[in-house]
């Protein structure tokens, strides 16, 4: 196996195209289903970006992830222009930091979620700078800040962890799963949902509490 | 053994970036010390990632991909490694080792200040948090705090010693959250002084005129 030297030049356009069909991980690309991106496909694409600065892999990740980041941030309270800007910046950071991604530690979704969230906190601070309102904190900036190294159990791979929360969410009754989703979204989104369903905002909030309680019960039931 | 933990709702808000910096700081001081809450926080990051991956997409502008490539082109300069954080200024010496070093970057504090018999306080400047909302409190063994209710939310992380307040006993590592419904009178246990990290988003309401007068001096209002 030859030594693989990764040039750290960030410019995509001047990168030589990676040799196709040769090394591991190269040909996963482009066929990724944008409607339902498979987690393992996403991980392979990030690996191709990290190892080969693979433009086609990056384009595929962009096509799949950027619209989902934008949608997520809009439900979390960002306006469309801000959400689009942050989605672009998240993908730019994905290109820059692809070498840091470790599939043993986290699923791609989890990793991208923390990047987008940190950018959203920064943006929120810039937008509220000088205003009297309290600003948001990024005290769990990184996955490493919540590694539970002392719990004695064998660590799960990122993909196994993702499957676990996915299975738990899927096992909840639809209304409770929806309530858990809402916990990630803004008051504005809550108010819109309350108006759509014709229920008071307080009812939405108590549904969120009940949804989280049900989630907790099931998470405790599936051992790490 | 930590008995009192933050609610899932607050851990989720911290993990998803919705929580303000002052409350986040006190919550993170608990999470740092509590394996169970680190695991729960991680689950909320994993769940956030899964909701992002499976959520409804919203189309980007036609030029979005080209614009993103331009962003990548634009930063050819190597990114300088972040300078190591300066040690925080002014922290009371006995409290400093009780706080997670990771959280202290960019924070400032004042030396202990007398606020009443057996009671000392140190305001902490937390980046991006409202002024005078986060503070350290040191209470002598056996001391009873004035009975009070809360104008808003109070987060308390016990760093050292223990207190009980009629509802429960809170030991080092425990987290307590009270709101406007709770009126309590914390009593520090006899064994040791009690040092707590606390967040307040509204002044405490003390019962009795002596306590109210003391409150005016304490800085527990902003």
Q: Which of A19-33, A37-51, B64-78 has the highest mean pLDDT?
A: A37-51
Given this model, what pLDDT does residue A1 score? 37
CA angle B74, A12, B71 (to 5 degrees): 30
A110 with B48: Cβ contact below 8 A: yes
Q: What's chain B's average pLDDT?
A: 86
Q: Average pLDDT for residues B72-89, to the nearest whole number? A: 68
Residues B42/A148, Cβ–Cβ less than 8 Å: yes
More confident residue, A33 or A48: A48
A155 in contact with chain B, both atoms CB, cutoff 8 A = no
In DSSP notation, B63-109 reads: THHHHHHHHHHH--SPPPPPPPPPPPBS--TTTGGGS-HHHHTT-EE
B126: closest chain A residue by CA: A137
- What is the reported pTM? 0.86
| Alpha helical stretches, state H, B126-220 | 209-218
A199: which 2 tokens? 């229920």
Instruction: Give B46-62 pLDDT, tens digit per residue.
Output: 999 999 999 999 999 99
- For residue range B86-107, what is the model confidence (pLDDT) as tens digits? 667 778 889 989 998 888 888 9
- pLDDT confidence of B83, banded at 50, 70, 90? low
Classify the C-alpha dihedral A208-A212-A214-A218 as positive or negative.
positive
Nearest of B84, B157, B148, B173 to residue B124 by alpha carbon:
B157
- In Å, how far from its chain's centre is CA A140? 15
Q: A156 CB near a chain B CB, below 8 Å?
A: no
Q: Residue B29 pLDDT > 90, yes or no?
A: yes
Interface probe, candidates B25, B38, B41, B68, chain A, greatest A C-beta count within 10 A: B68
Instruction: Please tell me the predicted confidence (pLDDT) of residue A11.
Output: 39
* Inter-chain residue contact B14 with A74, CB threshold 8 Å: no
- Whether residue A50 lies within 8 A of chain B, CB to CB, comes out as no
**B147 CA to chain A: closest CA distance, Å?**
28
Per-residue DSSP letters for A105-168?
T--HHHHHHHHHHHHHHHHHHHHHTTSSSPPB--TT-SGGGG--GGG-SPPPPHHHHHHHHHHH
Rounded Cα–Cα distance for residues B198 and B187 (Å): 16
Residue A150 contacts B where some CB pair is shorter than 8 Å? yes
> A134 and B42 in contact by Cβ < 8 A?
no
What's the pLDDT tens digit per position in B174-215? 999 988 778 888 899 999 999 999 998 766 666 665 555 556
Least confident of A130-134, A206-210, B120-124: A130-134
Residues 6+ positions from A200 with CB-CB distance below 8 Å: A194
Band (B78; pLDDT cuts 50, 70, 90): low
Q: Average of pLDDT values for B114-130?
A: 89
Distances, alpha carbon B213 to alpha carbons A178, B54, B112, B188, B208, in Å: 49, 56, 20, 22, 9
CB contact under 8 A, A136 and B19: yes
Under 8 Å between Cβ of B135 and B198: yes
Of the candidates A162, A178, A167, A189, the one whose C-alpha atom is nearest the C-alpha of residue A211 is A178
The answer to whether A98 contacts chain B (CB < 8 Å) is no
- For residue A80, the chain B residues in CB contact (below 8 A) are 58
Under the banding of pLDDT at 50, 70 and 90, the label for residue A61 is very high
User: Best mutation site among A64, A139, A167 for testing chain B: the one with the most B CBs within 10 Å?
Assistant: A139
Interchain CB distance below 8 Å, B24 and A137: yes
Closest CA to A4 of A48, A58, A44: A48
pLDDT score of A222 more than 80: no
Residues of A in contact with B50 (CB under 8 A): 107, 109-110, 162, 165-166, 169
Length of chain A: 224
Q: Give the tens place of pLDDT for each residue, A92-148.
A: 999 999 999 998 889 999 999 999 999 999 998 888 877 666 788 888 877 777 776
From the list A68, A121, A139, the residue facing B57 with the nearest CB is A68
Residue A30 banded pLDDT, cuts 50, 70, 90? low
Tokens (6 digits) for A46: 């990030």
- Find the distance separating the first CA and the last CA of chain A, reported in whole Å: 36
ipTM confidence: 0.86
């Amino acid at each position: 196996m030859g030594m693989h030297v990764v040039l750290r030049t960030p410019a995509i356009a001047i990168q030589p195209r990676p040799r196709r069909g040769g090394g591991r991980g190269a040909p996963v690309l482009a066929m990724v289903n944008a409607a339902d991106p498979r987690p393992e496909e996403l991980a392979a694409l990030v690996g191709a970006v990290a190892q080969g600065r693979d433009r086609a892999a990056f384009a595929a990740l962009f096509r799949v992830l950027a619209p989902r980041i934008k949608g997520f941030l809009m439900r979390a309270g960002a306006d469309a222009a801000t959400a689009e800007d942050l989605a672009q910046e998240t993908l730019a950071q994905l290109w820059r930091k692809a070498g840091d991604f470790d599939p043993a530690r986290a699923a791609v979704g989890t990793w991208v979620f923390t990047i987008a969230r940190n950018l959203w906190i920064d943006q929120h601070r810039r937008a509220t700078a000088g205003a009297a309102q309290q600003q948001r904190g990024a005290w769990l900036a990184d996955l490493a800040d919540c590694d539970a190294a002392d719990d004695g159990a064998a660590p799960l791979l990122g993909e196994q962890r993702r499957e676990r929360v996915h299975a738990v969410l899927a096992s909840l009754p639809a209304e409770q799963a929806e309530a858990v989703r809402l916990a990630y979204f803004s008051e504005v989104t809550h108010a819109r949902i309350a108006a759509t369903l014709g229920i008071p905002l307080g009812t939405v909030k108590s549904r969120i509490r009940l949804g989280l309680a049900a989630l907790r019960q099931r998470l405790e039931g599936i051992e790490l | 053994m930590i008995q009192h933990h933050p609610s899932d709702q607050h851990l989720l808000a911290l993990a998803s970036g919705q929580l303000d910096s002052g409350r986040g700081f006190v919550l993170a001081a608990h999470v740092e010390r509590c394996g169970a809450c680190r695991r729960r926080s991680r689950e909320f990051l994993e769940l956030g990632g899964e909701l992002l991956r499976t959520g409804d997409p919203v189309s980007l502008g036609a030029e979005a991909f080209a614009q993103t490539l331009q962003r990548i082109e634009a930063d050819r300069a190597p990114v300088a490694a972040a300078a190591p954080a300066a040690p925080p200024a002014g922290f009371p010496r006995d409290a400093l080792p009780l706080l997670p070093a990771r959280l202290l970057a960019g924070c400032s504090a004042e030396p202990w200040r007398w606020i009443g018999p057996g009671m000392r306080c140190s305001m902490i400047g937390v980046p991006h948090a409202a002024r005078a909302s986060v503070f350290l409190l040191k209470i002598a063994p056996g001391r009873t705090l004035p009975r009070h209710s809360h104008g808003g939310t109070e987060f308390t992380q016990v760093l050292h010693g223990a207190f009980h307040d009629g509802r429960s006993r809170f030991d080092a590592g425990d987290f307590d959250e009270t709101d406007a419904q709770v009126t309590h009178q914390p009593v520090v246990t006899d064994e040791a002084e009690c040092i707590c990290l606390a967040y307040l988003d509204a002044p405490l309401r003390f019962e009795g005129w002596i306590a109210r007068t003391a409150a005016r001096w304490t800085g527990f209002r902003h």
